[in-house]
Amino acid sequence: MRLSFKNLSLISAPYECDLNILDEVVYLKGVRENEKKASPQSLVRGSLTLRVRKQVEINQICVRFSGNHRAKLFIREPDQNTVNPVDKHVNKSLIDDSYKWVFDQDMHVFQPGTYNFPFQFAISPQLPASIEHACGDVRYQVTMNILTKDPTLAKKAVQPITVIRCVSDLIEISCQTVVAMGCWRNLLYYELMISNKTLVIGEDVAIEIKIFPLHEHRYKVHGLKVILEQKIEYSVKGLPCQYRSAFSKCHKIHLKTYDYHGRQGYVQEKISLPIQHDYSRTYPETLDLQIHPCTDNKNDVCNFKISHNLKLGIILEEISERSESPRPSLSHSINSINSIVSETLFPASRSSSRTSETTNQSESDLKAPPFEERTMEWVSRNAKLIREDSRNLDEKVDLSLMTPIYLLDSRSWDGQLPPPSYSALPASRLCEPSSVEKLYHGKCKRLENMPPAYNDVSAF
């Protein structure tokens, strides 16, 4: 089906033309590098329809597909935590491909009729997706130029193309459950689970925790915290000394804190939290943050990289069998956590919180039964004792799982849908034949091979 964008219709005597793009949204398969290498190229397909009313002399027709990355520049400040942009940019061409029809001197006179010029461009899955960010942007477009003998009749049209990253067809690579488990001070076994490392912005992330007691009266479970981290890494080489050539900026969003009120014994919780497009924060300072899709590209392709981490933390406290002294309330623990969840700039600030990091394992590595069917016997065979540099009964300990996740555009699911059947199209969407149908086969010089027309099914 051909989609004709009427805003691109160029109507002028003695001719008019339409730039018809099959899809103005193109999907690139694969999130990580190994997925991209195994994924096919994506196509931008369309046709230029030229309807001549009166005889006109045309010298050249050109349809061009281009992609450009623009990185903003930032003034170097004495304070490394200050980032001030200026109205200057560094431009980089990502792709530039074109079809040209150059007509001989004696064949550039077009008689009244309809002429079709189909085109097709391929996009590598390793190119970055479209994005607009404070550090820069990535944009793609199809441009049409018609050069005529009379300069006043020359025409130009531009159609933006949106390129969206979506998951690979290799589901076993794209979808992974992340599990962390351990034994804490021989008092309990625990498991933390994140359902999927590849998520779409706007959907929920499923989280589950389990705590199996060994000595249920020797510890307290104060709460669970969930933190989303968005990190920006900026790097532009060869800039004058007054501009910053590299910096890293990290925003940490406190998604949720659950108060367990010093619970003891067995704990099992299933949590579902949405990954929103925008977040507002008032502590420690006011901040409105937009969540962007990840850009897993090297700096030689794109000058800034966006990545995300998700952190789960169980707040535990060991208690002595003889201890009867009151412990600090969870509100104090939450305050200390909020002081950690703050915006940091490169170089990263140091935190005084005490955290025991656990080892991440994928489902495939564990060869485990489903999470809900795991028993304490199975966990005890696989969990390792968590090492700690020091041990203080008066301290609360944060057992955490930190894992990278891959956030995709909310429209990326459309890239997984099968194409519609042509027989299912309503009659109003089908193109009716013109009273005059001609495919220009005159003696013209083309700098690229001309792709087949859409009705030539065997060519595809």
Interior angle at CA 45, CA 43 and CA 48, nearest 5: 160
425 band by pLDDT with thresholds 50, 70 and 90: low
Residue 457 is predicted with a pLDDT of 42
User: CA-to-CA distance for 15 and 17, rounded, in angstroms?
Assistant: 7
Residue 422 is predicted with a pLDDT of 54
Residue 303 is predicted with a pLDDT of 87
Residue pair 34/173 in contact by the 8 Å Cβ criterion: yes
3 state SS of 12: strand
Residue 355 tokens, joined: 């955290």
> Average of pLDDT values for 206-219?
91
User: CA-to-CA distance for 268 and 188, rounded, in angstroms?
Assistant: 13
Cα 55 to its chain centre, rounded Å, is: 49
Pairing mode, strands 155-166 and 25-29: parallel
> Average of pLDDT values for 67-95?
87
Residue pair 303/90 in contact by the 8 Å Cβ criterion: yes
Residue 283 is predicted with a pLDDT of 65
User: CA-to-CA distance for 436 and 427, rounded, in angstroms?
Assistant: 21
Does 454 have pLDDT greater than 50?
no
Residue 372 is predicted with a pLDDT of 58
pLDDT digits (tens, 9 = 90+) for 280-301: 876 666 778 899 999 876 666 7
Nearest residue to 364 via CA among 179, 191, 205: 179
User: CA-to-CA distance for 356 and 401, rounded, in angstroms?
Assistant: 9
Mean model confidence pLDDT for the chain:
77
Nearest residue to 27 via CA among 160, 97, 119, 129: 129
Please name the fold of domain 6-169+418-452. Immunoglobulin-like (2.60.40)
67 band by pLDDT with thresholds 50, 70 and 90: very high
With b for 16 or more beta-carbon neighbours within 10 A and e for fewer, the 81-99 pattern comes to eebeeeeeebebebeebbb
Residue 241 tokens, joined: 């000394």
- The overall longest dimension of the chain from CA atoms, in Å, is 104
3 state SS of 13: coil
Percent of the chain whose predicted confidence (pLDDT) is above 70: 72
pLDDT digits (tens, 9 = 90+) for 402-418: 999 999 999 988 877 76
Residue 227 is predicted with a pLDDT of 93
User: CA-to-CA distance for 187 and 180, rounded, in angstroms?
Assistant: 17
Residue 437 is predicted with a pLDDT of 35
pLDDT digits (tens, 9 = 90+) for 222-255: 999 999 999 999 999 888 888 998 999 999 888 9
User: CA-to-CA distance for 58 and 104, rounded, in angstroms?
Assistant: 10
460 band by pLDDT with thresholds 50, 70 and 90: very low
Does 109 have pLDDT greater than 70?
yes
> Average of pLDDT values for 139-158?
92
Residues 6+ apart with CB under 8 A from 326: none
> Average of pLDDT values for 35-46?
91
Nearest residue to 330 via CA among 226, 227, 223, 220: 223
Euclidean distance between the first and final Cα of the chain, in Å? 15
Does 140 have pLDDT greater than 90?
yes
Residue 320 tokens, joined: 């002595």
Does 259 have pLDDT greater than 70?
yes
User: CA-to-CA distance for 2 and 23, rounded, in angstroms?
Assistant: 9
Residues 6+ apart with CB under 8 A from 242: 75, 76
User: CA-to-CA distance for 296 and 265, rounded, in angstroms?
Assistant: 42
Residue 290 is predicted with a pLDDT of 92
Does 365 have pLDDT greater than 60?
no
One-character DSSP codes across 168-235:
-S-HHHH---EEEEEEETTTEEEEEEES-SEEETTSEEEEEEEEEESSTTSEEEEEEEEEEEEEEEEE
Output the CA torsion 8→12→17→18 (10° steps). 20
Does 373 have pLDDT greater than 90?
no
Interior angle at CA 427, CA 422 and CA 431, nearest 5: 75
3 state SS of 332: helix
Does 33 have pLDDT greater than 90?
no
Pairing mode, strands 198-200 and 396-408: parallel
Residue 319 is predicted with a pLDDT of 87
In the chain, count of helices (H) and strands (E)? 5, 26
> Average of pLDDT values for 308-324?
83
Residues 6+ apart with CB under 8 A from 367: none
Residue pair 37/61 in contact by the 8 Å Cβ criterion: no
Does 440 have pLDDT greater than 90?
no
Residue 370 is predicted with a pLDDT of 61
Residue 112 is predicted with a pLDDT of 92
Please say whether the dihedral angle defined by the alpha carbons of residues 59, 63, 69 and 75, taken in this order, is positive or negative: positive
Residue pair 175/167 in contact by the 8 Å Cβ criterion: yes
Does 439 have pLDDT greater than 50?
no
Does 212 have pLDDT greater than 50?
yes
